[in-house]
Amino acid sequence: MSMTYITKKHDYVASLDGKESPEHEKSASVERLLVRTTKLTTVTIKLYRLVVFVRMIIFVLFFKWRSSTALAMISDGTTTVRAMWTMSIAGELWFALMWVLDQLPKMQPVRRTVYATALEESLLPAMDVFVTTADPEKEPPLVTVNTILSILAADYPPDKLTCYVSDDGGALLTREAVAQAAWFARLWVPFCRKHGVEPRNPEAYFCPGVKARVVSRADYRAKSWPELARDRRRVRREYEELRLRIDALHAGDVRRQQWSRGTAEDHAGVVEVLVGPPGSTPELGVSDLLDLGSVDVRVPAVVYMCREKRHGRVHHRKAGAMNALLRTSAVLSNAPFILNLDCDHYVNNSQALRAGVCLMLDRGGSNVAFVQFPQRFDGVDPADRYANHNRVFFDCTELGLDGLQGPIYVGTGCMFRRAALYNADPPLWRPHGDRDAGKDVAAEADKFGISTPFLGSVRAALNLNQSEQWNTTSPPRSFDGAAVGEATALVSCGYEDRTAWGRDIGWIYGTVTEDVATGFCMHRRGWSSAYCATAPDAFRGTAPINLTERLHQVLRWAAGSLEIFFSRNNALLAGPRLHPLQRLAYLNTTVYPFTSIFLLLYCLLPAIPLVTRNASTSAFSVNTPPSATYIAFVAALMLTLAMVAVLEVRWSGITLGDWWRNEQFWMVSATSAYAAAVVQVALKVAAGKEIAFKLTSKHRASNSGGGVVKDRFAELYAVRWTVLMVPTAVVLAVNVTSMAAAVQEGRWRKGPAAVLAMAFNAWVVVHLHPFALGLMGRWSKTLSPLLLLVVVFTVLSLCFVLHLHML
């Protein structure tokens, strides 16, 4: 375990044994603790590693025995038997490989405790926050407004914070909604500062239909409870009026108009400063609604951006919008750190920005390219039917990677170092004595573009990253007409032509999962990353609880992963700066959809005895008893798998229910979305057919009147048919039919092979239980598929017993 402190002159690390270093004795300018990093070395994690390695040894012994058995069967068998044995061995090898790739990178997990309030305001660097939205129909403007308000009210110096909003659809509705948010912020931000309310999202604070931390009388520490109650009523009334205005805009003609008088895919670029930068000294305010005589009323700057789009141009979806924001912010505020949020992910913990900065300014933090926060969600059904919380990935996999080169970048809730986005080398890999990283930028217009002001901002950002004088040097901030005009030119659709944007600079193009590719390129250059889990959660967003929406989301992720695998960003092609286990993690992230090929073949095998009685398949018949060796290997593998699962749950802190829901939805995804992704990417590689991008709906359940939301999880029970459901439905039907036929024909009495076959059928059906619930729609509220299966098997058993008595 290590403790890291920040000092005015130098950093040092103190151990937990209480002994002070000589540097500590000499220094009288010590600040408070910033970050505590703890390597997990408990008995649980040690036992976990041991069981993982034991299971790997069992794998080796099993495949050695299995291969010799398969060779004997193939040499004497028919063509069909050879094909089935080859498929079986290949599938088992692939499943074992994927399990190893998943487990090895999690061998060295660490936990970080960040003390966000320990860093003084004078030491806080400037920060730019990027918010992206593209379609006001799927991403309601009110959701975007609440995200912006939570950013502006964050506990961060307002003169060092700038919020940039990218409207990729060019909708006048979005622009007007952002302007309304900027207007309401002049009341909301001082109210939050005065009373210290949490969360600072008005929708979550006033309408606790989602999980919200409402201030109670016992927790309140400001002037007086009656004053909070009075101010809260007044601000809530103003917020309700804001909601009505936005709803009126959404219902009127504004929703069909474009801000730049074009279409969603063909419009001019716009950069508009809605709120200018505040001064560096606090300003006490006067308001007719609130007593703000002792409250700083400054509001951070707000900039609206709509990049240019033209027909016939490739716009690179979200990655293109993020790069346009990167250039726009560079000539306006040029903050050394950037936080990117989706329009539905609001700041749930006002200290979140400070927490991320602590990790960047930590000892050794100069090599950290980005800090990834876990994604948490509101509005998910209590049972989390479709594993939206994804706890296994965020609280286990990302935690394990944090002990290597760092977690994977996953799209939102991530804080970046601007210099890392400019393809700079980290200090660890920088040539000795190179103290002027930005000196050659002016000569690299072929990489960054021809804008002289932008090249100057790049040079300043790289040199500032070298000096690391965050507390004494602040980047120039210019929001005048010339700077805005230059920013508008930088968001033109032709600016990136013949440059390195999207290849080496900024967010990476060529995949619908630009987040994973961008993080990979930083790790490949030698940068590290850090994982920051705060309490309360730093950010919260929305997740699709409808089965169809969720499958399309997983399809996009899986297709993007395969695109990365077939690109120049393949983990196998990375250089020596990438940690070996980090390479395995990225390889696992980009090849996992191929699992669907073997899983579908395995899950559809029970259909063979239902449709054919071909003797050539007798090698796989239930009449052929498995050997004692095979049963022993299967038992050992299943036992060690269960042990790994239990130990993983223990050391990561997730629940067994989270782990089980993850396993269930993995089966649903692997038999549907993963298979579709393989087909899509195969068509792209073979025929050049681009992958269609489907934006995930971000509607959030809310209640404008403060009452109980009626049928809050209505989307959960809506059945919207999609072709992605076909293979999973077929797998479910085949295995249910196979079990029913086995019971009816009494196959379970034919020996261990028949019992194992039925156990496999049951394993598949139980894993597809959430999918069956999704197909049942509102019937799933009262009728459970498992209950129906029990009833069916009871009836079949009674029929079988009666049949025996009649013989």
Alpha helices in 343-427, H assignment, sequence order: 352-361, 391-392, 398-401, 418-421
Pull the structure tokens for residue 11: 């950093």
CB atoms within 10 A of CB 21: 12
Pull the structure tokens for residue 116: 């966000």
CB atoms within 10 A of CB 210: 21
- Which amino acid, one-letter code, is at 705? G
In contact, 671 and 603? CB cutoff 8 Å: yes
Pull the structure tokens for residue 751: 């020996």
CA angle 583, 586, 589 (to 5 degrees): 150
Cα 158 to Cα 276: distance, rounded to the nearest angstrom: 11
- Confirm whether 168 is a catalytic residue: yes
CB atoms within 10 A of CB 161: 25
Nearest alpha-carbon partner for 319 in 651, 564, 565: 564
In contact, 395 and 442? CB cutoff 8 Å: no
In contact, 401 and 101? CB cutoff 8 Å: no
In contact, 141 and 250? CB cutoff 8 Å: yes
Cα 217 to Cα 213: distance, rounded to the nearest angstrom: 13
Strands 270-275 and 368-372: unpaired
List 402, 515, 537, 658, catalytic entry: 515
87: left (phi over 0), alpha (psi -120 to 50) or beta: alpha
List 168, 342, 344, 658, catalytic entry: 168
Burial 286-302 (b: 16+ CB within 10 A, else e): eeeebebeebbbbbbbb
Nearest alpha-carbon partner for 519 in 530, 130, 341, 461: 530
Nearest alpha-carbon partner for 308 in 368, 377, 348, 262: 262
- Confirm whether 711 is a catalytic residue: no
Nearest alpha-carbon partner for 517 in 400, 410, 404, 368: 410
Q: Which residues make beta-bridge pairs with 505? A: 501
Dihedrals phi, psi of 161, to nearest 5 degrees: -125, 135
Cα 446 to Cα 500: distance, rounded to the nearest angstrom: 7
Pull the structure tokens for residue 222: 């400001």
For residue 795, give every residue at least 6 positions away whose Cβ sits within 8 Å of its Cβ, in sequence order, or none.
none
Catalytic residues: 168, 515
